[in-house]
Amino acid sequence: MIDDYRFAQGQFTVRLVEFLFAGSDVENFFQAQSTFDVSCLGSGSFHLASFLDPQGRIECYGWLVRQEDSFSYLVPLLLAERAIIRMNKFLISEDVTISNPTEVNVTFLLGLVDPPPQEALSGTLFGEETWLVRAPIPHLPVIPEDDVESWRGLTGWPTFDGSDYSYELLNNLRLYDLSLVANKGCYPGQETVAKIATRRGAAYGPVLLESDCPVSPGELQSFGKKIGVATACYQWKDRFFISASLLRDFRVERLKIGFSLNGGDYEAIVRYFPLFSGKREEKARDLYYEATDRFKEGRDSEAEHLFRKAISLDPTFGDVYESLGVMLGRQSRFQEAIDLMQKLSEVDSKSVLAHTNMSLYLMRLGKIPEAEEQKSLATVKSFQSFGNEAKQKEAELSRIQQQEKEWSQRESMFRQVLEIDPEDTLANYGLGAIGVERGDWKSARTHLECVLKTDPKYSVAYLALGKALKGLGLIDEAKEVWREGIKVSAARGDLMPANQMQQELNF
């Protein structure tokens, strides 16, 4: 299971082709030719980098490695020939020498590898903190190939052998998110990539489709029209996730879509990559919620194990100390609970409950003076909390007054415009948006309906109008507006309002 390694540690080894670079112009060469910003690559680290043709299509991808002033490039076996041709293509007068390609084994260490081996290079893989070494670590668990493949597929990373390579626009691939640093400066293909990104985005782009049944690769169709291509299917936690390239109009997170594939009809929910986060804080939060559920079910030993795992991932996560401490207190493990509450007071100096609970547990141990001291600290922090709340209320009142002043100024400007042109979309939308922010639903509806009557493709107006209708209690009408708005927004490539409207529909 992937989670056995995501929340612990593991390793796997792959075979890649290595190119070594020498010369005084190597850093400038990579900066001018690759999609990655080499200035972000510190010594002793690695990062995924792509090379494009002048039309923005992928020529090759691989892992760029920096060690002090030397560079190497680790490329999938099937892309080695393309890589050497591409790297030599724009090498004219620079002081750069590229070695003959050599096949090497490299090992990726994922999870809580602490401390890492001395020679390890730091980077990211599958969204996880990762170390790259030249040989496996004897005591570290080996991640099975099936789990590596599922982990790779569910996070959208490219294959290590290059078998999924396609001569495709960078914008259409996950490599756009994984290997590109936007605004890094010029490189071959940069103009095309930037133009697509700042306009409507890729016509087809990578997503996951969450389904309750597995599917085989093939063309996705809806009403006889191609809407995408399914490339693989993975199972995770009793659900199936289809890796697909999906048409822009349907690429809205959490949107439920129906489609035909290989003669069968299916339904799925659109999910963005990656399916799960590799950040320690977010993994700790996932474990915390799972532990809380186990605690409620009376499965205390399992809950304790998960709580302690969460602490190891994020030692600053105050809620974990509090919940675990309360659970241990109920088990009469008072000294352990006191130690956890002491930790809570260290990570959250404003916590009243830390001292309140310590007082309770000390009392149960018969340590009356210490209990009274903690009770006094709880009282002091409680008063401090009341003072902080008063300051917060004062700050909030000031913010509201400032906001009202800004609204009035904007409102006056928009009304002046409407005196000249009552159908001006920008002015009507501005007044409608102010109405939504104020909770003046009726006024907001009037102005926003005027916007859409004048310009039915004004994406954000659908979002705001739905909120106004919802405020008026017209829930069904609001949902209908949002559904129409999603279609319009997705067709225009305005995925931010489309996703926000889908979120509204999900609740």
CA 93 – CA 91 distance, rounded (Å): 6
Q: CA-to-CA distance for 266 and 214, rounded, in angstroms? A: 10
Report helix, strand or coil for 260.
strand
Mean pLDDT of 195-221: 92
Q: Cis before residue 456, ω within 30 degrees of 0?
A: no
pLDDT over 90 (residue 207): yes
- Domain co-membership, 474 together with 498: yes
Amino acid at position 20, single letter: L
Query: Is the Cα dihedral 154, 157, 161, 167 positive or negative?
Result: positive
Higher pLDDT among residues 6 and 393, named by residue: 6
373: in domain:
yes
Please check whether residue 394 lies inside any domain of the structure.
Answer: no
Both tokens assigned to 320: 């974990």
At 348, which CATH number? 1.25.40.10
The mean per-residue pLDDT over the stretch 211-225 comes to 91
Mean pLDDT for the stretch of residues 369-384: 80
DSSP 251: -
d(CA 107, CA 326): 42
Rounded CA gap, 310 and 320, in Å? 7
The interaxial angle of helices 300-313 and 280-296, nearest 10 deg, is 170
Same domain for 320 and 300: yes
Q: Is residue 334 domain-shared with residue 374, that is, in the same domain?
A: yes
In a domain, 432, yes or no: yes
* Backbone angles phi and psi of 349, in degrees to 5: -65, -15
pLDDT tens column, 98-131: 999 999 999 999 987 778 888 899 999 999 999 9
- The answer to whether position 400 is within a domain reads no
d(C-alpha 244, C-alpha 259), whole Å: 12
Residue 139 has pLDDT above 90, yes or no: no
Which pLDDT score is estimated for 107? 97
pLDDT at 90: 85
Average pLDDT, the chain: 91
Residues 483 and 377 in one domain: no
pLDDT for 384? 67
Residues 207 and 117 in one domain: no
Cα–Cα dist 62/86, whole Å: 13
pLDDT of residue 386: 61
What pLDDT, on a 0 to 100 scale, did the predictor assign at position 405? 79
CA distance 227 to 250: 8
Domain end: 246, 271, 296, which one? 271
Q: Return the top range by mean pLDDT from 40-49, 179-188, 351-360.
A: 40-49
- CA dist., res. 460 & res. 107, Å (int): 47
Question: pTM for the complete prediction?
Answer: 0.82
Bridge partners (DSSP) of residue 71 are 21, 66
- Span 304-315, mean pLDDT? 94
User: Both 285 and 243 in a single domain?
Assistant: no
Domain that holds residue 450: 421-506
What mean pLDDT comes out for the span 410-430? Answer: 88
Is residue 397 one of the residues assigned to a domain? no
Percent of the chain with pLDDT over 90: 67
Q: Is the domain of 241 the same as that of 326?
A: no
Q: Are residues 162 and 19 in the same domain?
A: yes
* 51 and 169 share one domain: yes
Given a cut of 70, whether residue 192 has pLDDT beyond it is: yes
Residue pLDDT, tens place only, 60-90: 999 999 988 789 999 999 999 999 999 888 8
- Residue 20 belongs to some domain of the structure: yes
The residue whose two tokens read 């992928």 is 58
Q: Please give the Cα distance from 428 to 460 (Å, whole number).
A: 12
- Whether residues 261 and 290 share a domain: the answer is no
Task: Say which CATH number the domain at 234 has.
Answer: 2.40.30.110
Residue 402 within any structural domain of the chain: no
Among 31-40, 204-213, 496-505, name the one with the lowest average pLDDT: 496-505
Domain termination site, one of 251, 271, 291: 271
User: Tell me, what's the pLDDT at 389?
Assistant: 62
Distance CA 267, CA 499 (A): 19
- For residues 11 and 76, state if they share a domain: yes
* pLDDT exceeds 60 at position 387: no
Tally the domains of the chain: 4
Last residue of a domain, one of 245, 271, 297: 271
- Highest mean pLDDT: which range of 230-239, 399-408, 425-434: 230-239
Q: For the chain, give the percent of residues with pLDDT over 70.
A: 98
Count of beta carbons in the 10 Å neighbourhood of residue 85: 11
**Residue 55 confidence class, pLDDT cut points 50, 70, 90:** very high
In a domain, residue 313? The reply is yes
